[in-house]
Structure 1
């Protein structure tokens, strides 16, 4: 599914990754500054490894020896950030539909109504993004990501900044996504209990080095 063997160097920080993902949900846990976001940004294409390769479903995304660096928009990989980056002047439906408008109908993996039901967004459809709570906004962000029909979904500490009650409300949605959608996910966090709840195979990222947890 996903194979990575690369090095990324920036200032005094070095990330060395050797990873082979075959499961539907891979969890990566590590403290702040361990390189979790840097890892995801290399996979999605926001950063470029100094050496090595990244391959997904037999497609080479990066190979420094062959001078291959596939642009981000051609990778069909979506990254969900710690904070929901919604268009504040648009309502929820418009934010969700923005992800679909660049796709031909034949490329769409999910139906709009199915994603709205999965994430329990029916009561929010006409609300402006700026009127949403943190947890509501993050669910919309997840829905928009799914409606972009990614082949791989990357979640960068998606519950950061939410209180315990909101985390407990949103984690079941991730569990449903794992169980009901055929989209592989990499979920990074510094809270191991989130990955235990999701029953994710887990790796530890420590000072730029991946280790089995």
Structure 2
């Protein structure tokens, strides 16, 4: 990870507004942790760093900038303030030193976006094969899928907005994809609005 004082997010705060708002999140700390997710040591270090309970399969638990997301049967994504990643990696190393695991700082390899507004689900529904209906995609659920031609993960945050993460190398593509799907006049009306516009 680069020096936090000189680090820059992929698109430096890009935003667009249509029937939904699309905004780059900015710098966020992220660690991929792979190992035996049934291990109490792995669970304890993940939840200690994430500051939340351990999620179940396809789940995410988050509070503000901190989260633990289930990514696969042996993988978690830990999110935290950007400046705390190195300390978290030391903590993981100490806690899991006799365990088989992998912990990698991916903060600078990812970009994040927030899609907000009462029709945010509709934006994602245009771009991914995931069922975005409220019954299938509720708060506390994370999905790894595709947006257009690239992989991404997304979930609903505490404010009811949808957060999206992707590889930094495709950040401009994902931003353009989301902004285009949110253009005023392109509404489809698949889902009833779930929250008031900002």
The TM-score normalised by the length of structure 2 is: 0.29
Structure number with the higher helix fraction is: 1
**Higher-RCO chain (CA-CA 8 Å, sequence separation at least 6):** 1
Structure-1-length-normalised TM-score: 0.28
